[in-house]
Amino acid sequence: MAQGASLAAVVAVWAAVVNARLFPGDIVPSPAAVAGRIVGLALSADFYGHLRVTAAEIAGGLALAAVAGILLGVAIGARPLLRRAYEPWLHYLAPTPKIVFFPVMLMLFGVGAASKVSLATLGAFFPIVLGTISGVREMDPVLVQVGRGFALSPYRMLTMVYVPAIRAALVNAVRLGFGVAVVVVLLAETKLSSAGIGYLIIDAYRHFDMPLLAALVLVLFGLAILANAGLARLARHGAPAVSR
Amino acid sequence: MSDAATLSGRVRSRRPRFSPAPLLGVATVLGLLAALEALIRTGLVSPFVVPPPSTVLLAGIDLLWHGNGLEALLATAFELLSAAVLVGLIGLSVGTLLYRVTALRRTYEGWVAALAATPLVLVYPFFLVMFGRSAATIVAVGVVAGLPPMVLRTIEGFAGVRPVLVDVGRALNLRPVRVFWSIEFPAALPVIFSGFRLGLGFALINIVGMEFLINYGGLGQLINEHAELYDLPETYACIALVVVVSAVFVAASEHLERRLRG
Amino acid sequence: MTSPEPSAPVPPLSGDTSAVVGWTAALRVMNVTKRFHTGREIVTAVDDVSFDVREGEFLSVIGPSGCGKSTLFKIIGGLLGGFSGEVRVGGRSIQGPHRDIGMVFQEESTFPWRSVLDNVAFPLEASGMGRAERLDRAAHFVSLVGLKGFERRFPSELSGGMRQRVAIARTLAFNPKILLMDEPFAALDEQTRYLLGDKVLQIQQATKQTTLLITHNIGEAVQLSDRVLVMTYRPGRIKAVVEVDLPRPRSDDVITSDAFARHVAGLWRNLKEEASRGLAESEALVSGGAG
């Protein structure tokens, strides 16, 4: 109710700004024009093709980053010596702009999806490994002693003790990693690619199609908010139990 | 250290015992670099994909000394400074407004939080249309990226002020404006500042990224140019420089925050 | 400012000992009732409470947890409105916070971003006093509460007891006619509590500071007070007024005297029934919630 009203208020301000011609030329398209393009996107098969490419790149990168980040995070987090040796390095490397590694990925993996997947992996790795380390650090040490008491193998320790014990921290870490992966994949697509939402955005910019550009950005924001809310739900209610 | 001192709990900092951990960290990093160097020198890894670390180091020194490395660094720093001022002013005003006006806060705080979860940088083509390939576009992207954490933490900071501190002011019959500036603002400052630091981090990432994407400005542009010319050692050196700059920036802002917290 | 309440006969009030003549009321609480609406229920926190605080007197209000003591504190301090009845200072009914009442809160209330000296100088700064004068005055009150040498320290560097002394000094520096304290020692350990209580006692005896203390601690009330008002558990009413006739000036060994023990025992007999009722009701609430 209030949300609907506030949305209406934002759209009204937007329309007023366009009508008053506060911006030169056609930089800010009218809400009606953008709405038309959003409907157009929703009805075009082409759009879903590009969406699939971007989603696959993000998912691939996120999956690789999650495996590497969680394994390394538990290995480092469980040992105070390793934690103190490596956590500062990871901590200071984490907030560097990952997009600048794109030329390296292009040289290593070519201009196709692999360069974006590898960049997404690099980007999502840091929040996941750091989140895992802090999750392990804060878990009750008695749980580890229980696992040791049952003489669990390292694999069982990981799947039966560490991962379930820090599940909430892991989901939140993956959520942060997801955000980074989305950004680097889309930026990389705007830099050099022939498919994906980022490619569509930069293509709309090149053709100066501002309504399409706005439509793409809004749809993208909507999808990101939905995906993020989904992951947040997972963190709140706990991930579904994995049956073996 | 005497037992009495331990018991009284008055001794706050004790001399740190020697720990091998930092040494292990440095040794591991140096070891990995040495191994990479060896792999390239023995021909197992092609120097046309990854140049040897020693070459990268020399290229980096050369860039800073003779090339335009320092110039690029300063350009990036200037953009970051501009974005920092804007993030601080706009974020503080918007955050304070949202906190004070309950109706606005109820409706729009969720929006800001949702926006924080979106790839906001992707609005950069709009800025390109408005400002062209210029520092203004880069700073605008930095501001957009840095605002959400600043706004959210400003609201959080004010909301977290303990009511008893405000009561102290009310008991002295202070005017609301006075209570705000003398009590609520300083009380919320540590949290607001942590949001500012977070926002600055996002701004830096996006500023360098934007320089790379639109090939304009500082360090990001340098990477882009060297990559396009296929100057591998210089490309890697510039990337390393970006990593160093952002690490120094994070360390410096953490230090400042600790100092401010007293 | 100094218009004393006429000591003329006042109408008898419940729980009032105003039959005594020869004293002036610094603060009068008259038929104060406060109800809270919690969902469908209406809770009477304070029910028709009346009493006087005499000029120069140390008066304590004691009662079990949940008897509405803190509500009373906020009403007298002017931080809580919407009550019936009247609170008078210097003969005038108060609306909101009053210059003549200085409050010391139960919770940690020092400003972590200000040094000890700047904390104590805060109310003086707010009232527009010049820098040199206010720092001078603040330094006096810092040493009065025994924190000389700690002026430049910050609250995070002090113990809980020291921080509460800073809060007391800050309130005293404003020179209030009436010092109003809400369980100022509640967060402290037993030994610190007695030592800090003695500090307050010595200051109060030296300055003849009119003081109203809200507490649930019997020993504290006896150690410090001239009179103790006993409140009932929900709704909060005045149950009894007890004179503490321990001789003044009292020193720090007052708490080891036989008379002290007798007073503590007497007050406990008065309070026991209320405290038990409070305990039983809160337990009923817990088991009700569980069932």
B243: distance to nearest CA of chain A, Å? 6
Query: Do residues A195 and A49 lie in contact, with contact meaning Cβ atoms separated by under 8 Å?
Result: yes
Q: What share of chain C is helix, strand, coil (3-state, %, to 5)?
A: 40, 25, 40
Nearest CA in chain C to B183: C111
Return the C-alpha torsion angle B226, B229, B231, B234, nearest 10. -10
Minimum Cα–Cα distance from C76: chain B residue: B171
A204 token code pair: 């709309």
Residue A239 in this model has a pLDDT that exceeds 80: no
Indicate the pLDDT class of residue A179, thresholds 50, 70 and 90: confident
Distance, in angstroms, between B170 CA and closest chain C CA?
A: 7
Q: Does B262 touch chain C (CB under 8 A)?
A: yes
Chains that touch A (3 or more CB pairs under 8 A): B
User: Which tokens sit at B41?
Assistant: 């020198």
Q: Are A177 and A125 in contact (CB under 8 A)?
A: yes
Q: Nearest CA to B230 among A150, A220, A107? A: A107
For residue A233, how far is the Cα from the chain centroid? 16
**C112 to each of B194, C189, C244, how far by Cα in Å?**
17, 22, 38
Dist CA A212 CA A240 (whole Å): 38
User: Do the beta carbons of residue A162 and residue A74 sit within 8 Å?
Assistant: yes
Does residue B165 belong to any structural domain of this protein?
A: yes
Q: C127 contacts in B (CB within 8 Å)?
A: 172
Would an 8 Å CB–CB cutoff place B181 in contact with chain C?
no
Q: Which amino acid makes up residue C190? A: E
* Å between A234 CA and nearest CA of chain B: 16
Best of A27, A100, A108 to mutate (most B CBs within 10 Å, chain B): A100
Q: How confident is the model at residue C215 (pLDDT cuts 50, 70, 90)?
A: very high
Over residues C44-84, the pLDDT tens digits come to 899 999 999 999 999 999 988 777 888 999 999 988 888 99
Taking contacts as CB-CB distances below 8 angstroms, the residues of chain A near B236 are 104
Mean pLDDT, chain A, whole residue set = 84
Q: Select from B171, B183, B187 the Cβ nearest to the Cβ of C79.
A: B171
Cβ contact, residue pair A202, B125, below 8 Å: yes
Angle between the N-to-C axes of helices C116-126 and C131-144, in degrees from 0 to 180, rounded to the nearest 10: 130
Q: CA–CA separation, A223 vs B172, rounded Å?
A: 51
Contact call for B119 and A220, based on CB within 8 A: yes
Tokens 């409470």 found at: C49
Predicted confidence at residue C191, as pLDDT, reads 85
Whether residues B125 and A204 touch (CB distance < 8 A) is answered with yes
Q: Is residue B172 part of a domain?
A: yes
Q: Are the beta carbons of B110 and A3 separated by less than 8 Å?
A: yes
Task: Tell me whether residues C126 and B174 touch, CB distance under 8 A.
Answer: yes
- Looking at the predicted structure, is the pLDDT value of residue B17 above 70? no
Domains and CATH numbers, chain C: 25-100+176-290 (3.40.50.300), 113-175 (no CATH)
User: Under a CB-based contact definition with an 8 Å cutoff, are residues B186 and B157 in contact?
Assistant: no
Asked if residue C153 has pLDDT above 90, the reply is yes
In whole angstroms, what is the distance from residue C68 CA to residue C239 CA? Answer: 13
* CATH class given for the domain over A44-206: mainly alpha
Nearest-angstrom CA–CA distance, B256 and B252? 6
| Whole-angstrom distance, CA of residue C59 vs CA of residue C241 | 10
* pLDDT of C11 above 60: no
**Three-state secondary structure call for residue A163:** helix
Pairing outcome for strands C101-104 and C178-182: parallel
pLDDT confidence of residue A233: 80
pLDDT at residue A24 in the model: 66
Contact assignment for C103 to B167 by CB distance below 8 Å: yes
- Over 60: is that where the pLDDT of C250 sits? yes
How close, in Å, is residue B1 to chain A by CA atoms? Answer: 24
Q: Please report residues of C whose CB lies closer than 8 A to that of B186.
A: 111, 113-114
Closest residue to C111, CB basis, from B165, B172, B178: B165
> Token pair 């030296």 is at which residue?
C206
pLDDT at C143: 92
Kindly report the pTM of this predicted structure. 0.78
B206 part of a folded domain? yes
Question: Residue A229: is its pLDDT beyond 90?
Answer: no
C283 token code pair: 């337990």
Q: Alpha-carbon distance A223 to B180, whole Å?
A: 39
Taking 80 as the threshold, does the pLDDT of residue C265 lie above it?
A: yes
C contacts of B165 (beta carbons < 8 Å): 109, 111
Q: For residue B131, which amino acid is it?
A: F
pLDDT over threshold 70, residue C19:
no
Mean pLDDT in residue range A188-203? 86
Q: pLDDT per residue over B243-255, tens digit each?
A: 888 888 888 887 8
User: B180 lies in a domain?
Assistant: yes
Pick from A109-118, A179-188, C278-287: least confident: C278-287
Which residues in chain C have their CB less than 8 angstroms from residue B189's CB?
Answer: 113
Q: Does B172 touch chain C (CB under 8 A)?
A: yes
| Residue range A69-104, pLDDT digits in tens | 999 999 998 888 898 889 888 888 888 888 888 888
CB contact under 8 A, B122 and A201: yes
pLDDT of C41 over the 80 cut = yes
pLDDT the model gives residue B5: 35
Q: What would the two tokens of residue C230 be?
A: 């006993």
Q: Which domain, by its residues, includes B92?
A: 75-217
- The average pLDDT across C253-271 equals 89
CA distance B13 to A113: 52
Contact call for residues C230 and C263 (beta carbons, < 8 A): no
Is the model more confident about C28 or about A193? C28
Q: Does B168 touch chain C (CB under 8 A)?
A: yes
Give the chain A residue whose CA is nearest to the CA of B131. Answer: A27
Structure tokens, B138: 């880069």
Residues of B in contact with C126 (CB under 8 A): 169, 172, 174, 178, 182
A30: pLDDT strictly greater than 60: yes
Q: Pairing mode, if any, of strands C58-62 and C227-231?
A: parallel
C85 pLDDT tier (thresholds 50, 70, 90): very high
Q: Is residue A170 predicted with pLDDT exceeding 60?
A: yes
Name the token pair of C164.
Answer: 């509460």
ipTM of predicted complex: 0.79
Put simply, the answer to whether B170 touches C154 (Cβ < 8 Å) is no
3-state helix, strand, coil in chain A (%, to 5): 80, 0, 20
Beta-carbon pairs below 8 A across chains B and C: 52
Q: Per-residue pLDDT tens for B105-129?
A: 877 877 787 887 788 888 888 888 8
Q: Show Cβ contacts of residue C138 under 8 Å, excluding neighbours closer than 6 positions.
A: C117, C118, C120, C121, C124, C169, C173
Q: Which chain B residue lies closest to A231 (C-alpha atoms)? A: B117
Nearest to A213 among B49, B125, B208 (CB): B125
C-beta atoms of B29 and A89 within 8 A? yes
Is A touching C (3+ C-beta pairs, cut-off 8 A)?
no
Q: Say whether A182 and B129 touch across the interface (CB within 8 A).
A: no
How is residue B98 written in tokens?
């949202």
Neighbouring CB atoms inside 10 A of B152's CB total: 21
Long-range contacts at B105-108 (CB < 8 A, ≥ 24 apart): B105/B155, B106/A2, B107/A2, B107/A3, B107/A5, B107/A6, B108/A6
Residue B41: predicted pLDDT:
87
Number of independent structural domains in chain B:
1
One-letter amino acid of B40? I
pLDDT at A240 over 50: no
Identify from C103, C118, C134 which residue to disrupt to test chain B contact, counting B C-beta atoms within 10 A and taking the largest count: C103
Chains B and A touch (3+ CB pairs under 8 A): yes
Q: Give the domain CATH number at B89.
A: 1.10.3720.10
Preceding omega of C249 cis (within 30 degrees of 0): yes
Residue A8 has pLDDT above 70, yes or no: yes
Q: How many Å lie between the alpha carbon of B93 and the closest alpha carbon of chain C?
A: 22
Contacts with B, C 195-224, CB within 8 Å: none
Please check the confidence at residue B183 and state whether its pLDDT lies above 50.
Answer: yes
Residue C6, CA distances (Å) to C9, C10, C25, C179, C216 in order: 8, 9, 8, 21, 32
Sheet containing strand C84-89, edge to edge, reads C41-54, C25-38, C84-89, C92-93
Nearest-Cα residue of chain A relative to residue B128: A205
| pLDDT greater than 80 at residue B150 | yes
Cα separation values, A95 from A117, B55, B123, B219, Å = 19, 25, 21, 16
The model's pLDDT over C99-151, given as tens digits with 9 standing for 90+, comes to 899 999 988 899 988 999 999 999 999 888 999 999 999 999 999 888 999 99
Virtual CA dihedral for C172, C174, C179, C182, nearest 10 degrees?
-80
Q: Do B114 and A2 touch (CB under 8 A)?
A: no
With CA atoms as reference, report the closest residue to B115 among B150, B157, B140, B90: B150
pLDDT of residue B6: 34
Q: Select from B167, B172, B189 the Cβ nearest to the Cβ of C126.
A: B172
Could you tell me if B162 lies within 8 Å of chain C, comparing CB atoms?
yes
User: Chain B 218-237, CB below 8 Å of chain C: which residues?
Assistant: none
Q: What is the pLDDT of residue B43?
A: 82
Chain B residues with CB-CB distance to C107 below 8 A:
162, 164
Residue range A216-243: mean pLDDT, rounded: 75
Res. B16 pLDDT band, cuts 50 70 90 = low
The CB-side HSE value for A103 (13 A sphere, CA atoms) comes to 26
Tell me what pLDDT residue C30 has.
93
SS3 state at C213: strand
Rounded (10°) CA dihedral B236, B240, B243, B247: 170
pLDDT for res A241: 44
Instruction: Please choose, from the candidates C138, C141, C77, the residue with its C-alpha nearest in 3D space to the C-alpha of residue C103.
Output: C77
Contact C96 B168 (CB under 8 A): no
Cross-chain residue pair B172–C174, CB shorter than 8 Å:
yes
Q: Give dist(CA C203, CA C199) in Å, integer.
A: 6
Does B165 reach chain C within 8 Å, measured CB to CB? yes
Residues in chain B within 8 Å Cβ distance of C114:
186
